Structure 1
Amino acid sequence: MAEWFDDISSPNALGLLRTGRLEVEGRLVSASNATLRCWVEADGVRARCVYKPVAGERPLWDFPDGTLADREVAAFAVSEALGWRVVPPTVYREGPYGPGMCQLWIDTDPEVDLVELSGRYTDEGLRRMAVFDAVVNNSDRKIGHLLPAPDGHLFGCDHGVCFSVEYKLRTVLWQWQGWELNDDAREGLERLSGELTDGPLAATLAKHLTPEECHATLRRVELLLEHGVHPYPSQDWPSVPWPPF
């Protein structure tokens, strides 16, 4: 009998996700792309995960075909470089239906009201997520993408439509628009700027994004630090995803 895996620290989780045997448990039918909940097992430990094969990605008019899994992995890399753990451990690997993204499943706290949570001004994890979304240019931050863990840490999921060169930030987290970035955000962005210029993150993103997308990511970080405020919605693009949940 395999031991249940309960360590969501990145090194251990990434090893399990990369090397474990995937067994499909079922499909999340509410997702627009093929999203499979699986068991992943290796060396006597097992955990649940989400597997999104590239073959199941629905073509989009504004993102190149077959790139959503890469963008999910790139989002995790940025999250790790910031040191905020916004994105659960995520890898790119082969699976039962070909290559795709594999992400650790997060069991959420059923007592948390997601609608109420999404409108908070004082939640540190939520504000970090808003800054993270501005960096990766997330065009689909819905309320249902918030994953509050039982220990109080806030994760987010579904980052396949990020990193566009064009400004496409669409989110339910606009409550800080125009507010001055706090010290926590500035420290994270300064750290990220160095990693994007010459660090392991730059090499990782180069594997999953185009050179233009990598440059645009660095430029967004530079602009956030230059202006020192949370961004405003675009006047040329819907600012809130629909449906918002």
Structure 2
Amino acid sequence: MNNLGPWNQVADDVALRLTRATSTAAQQYVDWQREFSDRLSRTSRGLLEGDRAGSASFEERSLSRLGARGAIPPSGRFGPYTPSALELHVRSRRLSIDDELSNMLRPSANGVFITRDPDGVLYIYKPFHQEYYGDQNWLPHVDGQLAIREVAGYRVFELIDAPRVPPTALVDGPRGPGMAQLYVPLKRSKPESNYLETHRAQTAMGHFLVGNADGNEGNHRPRHNGNPAHHPDDDLVAYDLGYSFPESRDPLRGTGEEGEEDGTEFSFLSPFIRAWDGATFPQHVLDPVDALTPDRMGSALEDLKLGDSAIDGALERLAYVHRNHTIHGDSFTASQ
């Protein structure tokens, strides 16, 4: 049974299939993407071995140097957290991969699949073992760290009453533990300034609180409502929050050579943060943030086993908003 509440209207793939059936250009693009994906798979196949087939190429690019810190469990400062009904619904889904639709996805550094639940509802699914951490020295290079950040990002947007991120949860998926997020058909990207003010302000606030380092134009797009043309009232959808919640840096996580920069330092990456840096937010956007207590936010993040420094950084950003009723664009973590 579908219990997705306000997201019910996007819980099918009608718009996607109509677009594919009526757009020759779109079909040609899909064919090109499939051909590119096939070539990429053939190239990477030689890197796979034994029972680690399907993940070795990702792991090889994610290795930290000897002695790098792994994920550090939180210290247990906060009380228990009860996920929302929407998150619990997604968590309960039994998913199977839709190969046809998955083959349409653009090539990605991480493993990404489109899956279906028994009701036919589509979800994006990303397994733990196919995560790619790059050379970020503020992010533990441990399977599942991107997935828990995706869910943590959804929780923060949910806690501030900003329905910009589709329902997301940790799942035991068809290729092992991972995260699942309701699939939402999307239009092509458009500039930050071309969305509704409320949507822009909510996304800026959410990106700031989670510490988003990957809010590029490809990671926020208008929802496809059956009309592929842009419209001022387009519903803004934000996603791909895995590169968020920075922890204290560890130079040994980086992949720089001797004498070079040891890994990538954390910095915000979001046009919404840039646009709203120091700006006056609508009161209806500020009110739920003002009502969000550190204990409530801390319990939501600790429940996902984010490290203390990642939680402290998020709480510092929350405290900044409480004090100043705005956000800033200067990146910082709890260790600074």
The alignment's TM-score, normalised by the length of structure 1, stands at 0.79
Q: Does 1:69 align with 2:166?
A: no
Aligned length: 222
Map residues 5-154 of structure 1 onto 2, 5 A cutoff: 8=7, 11=85, 14-25=88-99, 26-27=102-103, 28-41=105-118, 45-62=119-136, 63-65=139-141, 66=143, 67-108=145-186, 110=187, 114-116=189-191, 118-120=192-194, 123-149=197-223, 150=225, 152-154=234-236
Contact 1:35–1:51, Cα closer than 8 Å, also in 2: yes
Residues 179 and 18 (structure 1), Cα distance of their counterparts in 2 relative to 1, 3 Å cut: same
- Corresponding residue of 2:299: 203
For 1:239, the equivalent position in structure 2 comes to none
- Counterpart CA distance in 2 for 1:140 and 1:59 is 12
Is 1:182–2:282 an aligned residue pair? Answer: yes
Assess if the C-alpha contact under 8 Å between 1:18 and 1:91 holds in 2: no
Letter paired with 1:230: I
Report the AA paired with residue 34 of structure 1. G
User: Which SS does the other structure have where 2:302 is aligned?
Assistant: helix
Matched, 1:168 2:267: yes
Distance in 2 (alpha carbons) for counterparts of 1:175 and 1:189: 19
Find the aligned partners of 1:135 and 1:146 in 2 and give their Cα distance. Answer: 17
Deviation at 1:33, TM superposition (A): 0.7
Which one has a bigger Cα radius of gyration? 2
> Residue type matched to 1:83 in 2?
D
Q: What CA distance in whole angstroms lies between the structure 2 residues aligned with 1:179 and 1:186?
A: 12
RMSD over equivalenced CA pairs, Å: 2.7
Q: Which runs of 4+ in 1 moved over 4 A?
A: none
In structure 2, the residue matched to 1:212 is 309
Counterpart of 2:268, as a letter, is: L
Contact residue 13 and residue 104 of structure 1 kept, 8 A: no
- Aligned mates of 2:314, 2:238 — CA distance in 1: 19
8 A contact 1:79–1:132 mirrored in 2: yes
Q: Partner residue of 2:322? A: 225
Q: Distance in 1 between matches of 2:299 and 2:109?
A: 30
- In the TM superposition, what whole-angstrom CA distance separates every residue of 1:48-99 from its partner, at most 9, and x where no partner exists? 1100001101133221122000100111111111111121100101112110
CA distance in 2, matches of 1:125, 1:176: 12
| 1:122–1:168 Cα change, 3 Å | same
Deviation of the 1:104 alpha carbon: 0.4
Partner AA of 2:309 in structure 1: E
Q: SS of 1:119's equivalent? A: helix
| Structure 1 residues 211 and 7, CA gap change in structure 2 (3 angstroms) | same
Are the equivalent residues in 2 in contact too, given 1:17–1:104 (CA < 8 A)?
no
SS of match in other structure, 1:31: coil
TM-score by length of 2: 0.59
5-14 or 172-181: which moved more?
5-14
Distance in 1 (alpha carbons) for counterparts of 2:206 and 2:213 = 12
Query: Residue 124 of structure 2 aligns to which amino acid in structure 1?
Result: V
Higher relative contact order (CA 8 A, sep 6+): 2
Unaligned regions of 5+ residues in structure 2, if any? Answer: 9-83, 226-232, 249-265
Distance 2:151 2:276 in 1: 27
CA deviations over 1:25-63 (Å, ceiling 9, x no partner) = 32534322111111122xxx2211100001101133221
Q: Which has the higher strand share?
A: 1
CA contact (8 A) 2:90 2:169 kept: no
Partner AA of 1:98 in structure 2: G
**Per-residue deviation, 1:13:** 7.0
